[in-house]
Amino acid sequence: MAKHLVMAALLVDEDPETANLHALSAARRAGRVAVVRETAAITAYRTGDFATALRELRTYRRISGKNDQLPMMVDCERGLGRPERALELGRSIDRAALDTAVQVELAIAMSGARLDLGNPTAALGELEIPQLDPTTAYSWSPALYSAYAATLEELGRQDEADEWWARVDRAAAALAEIADENAWETVDVVEEEVEGHDEPVVGDESVAGDEHGAGALDDTDQLGDDVDPDDDLGEIDDDNPRDVDGSAAD
């Protein structure tokens, strides 16, 4: 199972379809392991199968008790053509309880739902959060700045949009510089034993519906004895910002 998770992580960018097959193979062996269901969700999302991704994310949240993939769930609702439900889902959780990076991803997803509804003014408001700070760059800053710039363009505020596009470039350059500096840092890989399985699960390894499709995995005959029939189965350190223009507070 662990080998399938590793392959899914390696292939998700260049070949998401094959990555998804590896994730499904892992799910058949360990359907109650949160990271397995998360990986199945992410790979399905990358293939555009939003219904399966949403189903897997719901199961992941139920197993793990975490809301860290809420932004992707909101995006899945958007992908299914349900922006109102996307907004409702995004408002269902206290954002203050989420990690900062997840808060930013959720703001971007909620802004996208507002755009889907034809309301760029509200979309811009979703992005005007404390993290929209052009003086420092975190791993999520380029994506946030890009969403803000694109929304300003939707509003016809091109001069402001150009300023934010320039900030995207500066933030990306600053983050790339830090990545180069930290290239030789040691990364610890945590393994956890899964009861009933010989292979270890790589901890924290992640590859922010209504239709199951062919080969859907909620058929418990396919999944093995360890899967609950009720289950719907189918870097930069953010604590250390990068000062972009020298104006960040010490």
| Higher pLDDT among residues 99 and 192, named by residue | 99
- Range of lowest pLDDT (6-10, 190-194, 208-212, 235-239): 208-212
Question: Residue 107 sits in a domain of what CATH number?
Answer: 1.25.40.10
106-109 long-range contacts (CB < 8 A, ≥24 apart) are 106/70, 106/71, 106/74, 106/208, 107/131, 107/144, 108/71, 108/143, 108/144, 108/147, 109/71, 109/72, 109/74, 109/75, 109/78, 109/208
- Whether the per-residue pLDDT at 4 is higher than 90: the answer is no
Whether 249 maps to a domain, the answer reads no
Q: How do 242-243 and 201-202 pair as beta strands?
A: unpaired
- Whether the per-residue pLDDT at 212 is higher than 80: the answer is no
pLDDT for position 2: 74
Backbone angles phi, psi at 244, to 5 degrees: -80, -45
Whether 29 maps to a domain, the answer reads yes
Instruction: For 159-176, write each residue's pLDDT tens digit.
Output: 999 999 999 999 999 999
Residue-level length of the chain: 250
pLDDT for position 249: 39
DSSP structure class, residue 200 = P
Q: With CA atoms as reference, report the closest residue to 233 among 66, 80, 55.
A: 55
Instruction: For 116-138, write each residue's pLDDT tens digit.
Output: 999 999 999 999 999 999 998 89
CB distance 4 to 11 below 8 Å: no
Whether 234 maps to a domain, the answer reads no
Whether 147 maps to a domain, the answer reads yes
With bands split at pLDDT 50, 70 and 90, how would you rate the model's confidence at 8? low
- Whether the per-residue pLDDT at 10 is higher than 70: the answer is no
* Pairwise CA distance, residues 48 & 44, whole Å: 6
The pTM assigned to this predicted structure is 0.69
CB distance 147 to 109 below 8 Å: no
Whether 245 maps to a domain, the answer reads no
Highest mean pLDDT among 63-67, 230-234, 241-245: 63-67
Q: How many domains does the chain have?
A: 1
pLDDT for position 113: 98
User: If you average pLDDT over every residue of the chain, what do you get?
Assistant: 77
Whether 196 maps to a domain, the answer reads yes
Range of the domain at 213: 2-227
Whether 243 maps to a domain, the answer reads no
* Pairwise CA distance, residues 173 & 189, whole Å: 28
Region 61-77 average pLDDT: 95
Whether 137 maps to a domain, the answer reads yes
